[in-house]
Every structure is written in structure tokens, then in C-alpha cells.
Amino acid sequence: MKEFTSTGLTYSNGKLLVLDQQQLPWCEEWIECLDPSHMCEIILQLKVRGAPLIGVAAAMALACYVTNNPTLDADQVLAQATKLRSARPTAVNLAAAVDRMMAAYQQSNFDHQGIIDTAWQIYQEDVELCQQMAAHGAELISDGESVLTHCNGGGLATAGIGTALGVLIYAHQQGKKIHVYVDETRPLLQGGRLTTWELNRYQVPHTLICDNMAASLMAQGKIHKVMVGADRIAANGDFANKIGTYSVAVNADYHQIPFYTVAPYTTVDLDCPGGSQIPVEQRGSFEVKGVKTLESNICWAPKESATYNPAFDVTPAKLVTGWVLESGVCTPPFLGRKEGR
Ligand code: MRU
């Protein structure tokens, strides 16, 4: 296997390492992924996360598995692939990456090299897709604009520079004076912990806000555009992204602020006709009732209270100004366009 380094995933000296995103920004700890079952746990615990990156991570976990265990038979490999495929249900990138790996394995007559080569292609392709989306998306941003983003669509969510955040970082690198408003993104604070960490690394001017402050900023005319990522784009352009994205889209529509989603073709699911068919992952109650920090778990709600914790929501296509894809910016109607490959 070839060595590589990305913001949240690395393969070096025969080890697949994951930057534990649950410990960011307090601590930068890399954990070694021991096998595909371990990668399933890592994905489920959101130590590695973000739609494109979980696809790449699953592919690399399988590639490492066959590299370290050359005598595995096809049934053993397929069993691990099946487990990985269902580790998280909403981001289609995960299932798509595993399916692509298995198709290549079959085509190579169950030669492990087919898996290793395909994992590398998936990784390298994602780096390039990010660069292409960044270039197209940055054209939408003018000097002096402030852009709101939700969740984390940066290098921590992809193998490259990112999706929505990649656009903003690239616009900053082009010399545009932009300002990023970062939704903290309850309940797991991907905005407050991860997007801020990335923006600080790239020295992009930004302001962190609580999710419920966005509408007020929009009303004050402080937000010129919204850019978010996606976990699955249905054939009609509806898309799932981190819970809270739909509220941002409704608020943007009310204030007539352009609202874009940025995603590669690996996030488009043409087999899914519309948003209501996208499976939405439901998570445990602790994430709503409290918060985990490095030192402690703080629970602020009564044990007896029920919770509702969908990890994603669906934004209807009619609220989307444009879908920023690697091939360019698609304006409505989306109508099952799957650009690129
Ligand atoms: O639960 P997460 O943190 O994996 O959710 C991630 C998101 O919703 C991102 O916005 C999404 O993956 C798109 S950006 C790569």
C-alpha cells in the first residue's frame, strides 16, 4: 500500500492512523485502526466522520486488512466489507466506496491487489474532487463577503481540502477578504470544535455562533451567502446534511440569501428519487442531554426526559440556489444530474 497523509487520515509505516475528531480541538491524538471491525467502531463514534472521508477510511481499512492478511479468502473479505458498509447509513459515500471496492475485487478475480489499487484511487480521486469543487465554488464568492457554514465540510471530512469549507479556504487563499460565520452545530459541535480548528490553521477570519443566532445575523444583513456540504443528494436535488441545515436553508430563503450545497459526485445517489427516501441515522440520547469533553461527561438534562436525535435533516431542492459539484455549479432544476464520472 502507498503511504499518504491527509488532515484526518494517514497511512505510514504499515499503519492506518485516524486523527480522533472527538478529541479535537483540545488534543490532536492519532489512533491506529487495527482492522475493519475497529474502523466500524471508529466511524460509529465519529472519531472519523464527514461523508467523503468515511468512504475513504472504510476503503483504506479494507486495503490494510488484505495487505496484513494475505491468506484471507473472498468470504472473509466480503463479511468485513458488509459490516463497514452499514456503519453509518446516511452518507451514501460510505456504501458507494465499499461497493466500488467489492466490484473491483470481483473484477480482479478476487485478487487482493484489486482492493488495494481501488482504495488508492478513491483516496486520490477525493483529493482532486475537492480541488475542483473549491475552484468552482470560490467563483461564487466576492471580495468582502461573509459566508455562513454549518457542521464541518473541511479537510476533516474529506481526503482533500474539503467541500463547503474547502471553497471558503480556497477563496481566502485567492486573496479575497472573506469572513466565515460558523454555526456551532449541536449536538456534537462539529462547527464549534472542528470547523474553527481548521479555519484557525488556515488563518481564515471567522466568528463562531450558536446555531440559533444565524437568523438574527441574516436579518442584520451580515450574511451574504450560505455554503454547506451534503451527505446524500437525491435525484431530485433534495439533500441530507447535518441536522440544522434545513433550518439554515429556511432562514436563508426568508432573507433571500443564496444557499449552496457543495458535494462531489460520490455524494449523489441517483437511485434515491427524493429526500423522503434518504435514511436518517438516529443517535443516542446522551448527545442531546449533555456534552463530552476531554476530562468529563456533563449531563444537564433529567435522566427521565425523552430525547429525539436525528443526526441529519433533509433540505428540499426548492431551497437550494445551486449545487456546487466538481463539474461546475448546477442551478435548478437538479433533475438527476450526476456529473463527472
Ligand atoms: O455526522 P457527521 O459529522 O459525519 O456529519 C457530517 C456532515 O453532515 C457534513 O456536513 C457532511 O459530511 C458534508 S461535508 C463533507
pLDDT at 296: 87
Which residue among 126, 211, 231, 238 is the active-site one?
Answer: 231
- Assign 29 to helix, strand or coil: coil
Q: Which atom of ligand 1 is nearest to the CA of 158?
A: 15
If you measure from the C-alpha of residue 228 to the centroid of ligand 1, how many angstroms do you get, rounded to a whole number? 9
Which residue's C-alpha comes closest to atom 7 of ligand 1? 242
Contact 58, 43 (CB under 8 A): yes
Q: How far is the CA of 230 from the centre of ligand 1 (A)?
A: 7
231 is catalytic: yes
* Residues 226 and 257 sit within 8 Å (Cβ to Cβ): yes
Residue nearest to ligand 1 atom 6, measured at CA? 50
CA-only gyration radius of the chain, Å: 19
The long-range contacts involving 114-118, CB below 8 angstroms and separated by at least 24 positions, are: 115/62, 115/63, 115/66, 115/77, 116/1, 116/63, 116/66, 116/67, 118/59, 118/63
pLDDT value at residue 338: 52
Domains of the chain (ranges plus CATH)? 4-130 (1.20.120.420), 136-279+311-330 (3.40.50.10470)
pLDDT of residue 52: 98
Q: From the CA of 159, how far away is ligand 1's center (Å)?
A: 13
Give the pocket of ligand 1 (CB within 6 Å). Answer: 46, 49-52, 91, 151, 153, 157-158, 163, 190, 229-231, 241-242, 311
Q: Which atom of ligand 1 is nearest to the CA of 281?
A: 1
Beta bridge partners of 15: 12
Q: What is the DSSP string of 186-247?
A: TTTTIIIIIIHHHHHHTT--EEEE-GGGHHHHHHTT---EEEE--SEEETTS-EEEETTHHH
312: cell is: 441529519
Which grid cell sits at 22?
A: 472527538
Interhelix angle 112-138/92-107, rounded to 10 degrees, is 140
Residues listed for the chain: 341
Asked if residues 247 and 310 have their Cβ atoms less than 8 Å apart, the reply is no
Cα of 56 vs centre of ligand 1, distance in Å, is 14
Strand, coil or helix: 103: helix
CA dist list (Å): 84 to 94, 139, 206, 227, 267: 8, 37, 36, 29, 17
- The pLDDT value given to residue 295: 83
Q: How many C-beta neighbours within 10 Å does residue 256 have? A: 8
Between helices 36-44 and 74-85, what is the axis angle to 10°? 0
Q: Could you tell me the CA-to-CA distances from 316 to 148, 278, 324 in Å, in that order?
A: 19, 12, 16
Low-confidence ranges of the chain (pLDDT < 70): 336-341
Nearest alpha carbon, ligand 1 atom 8: 242
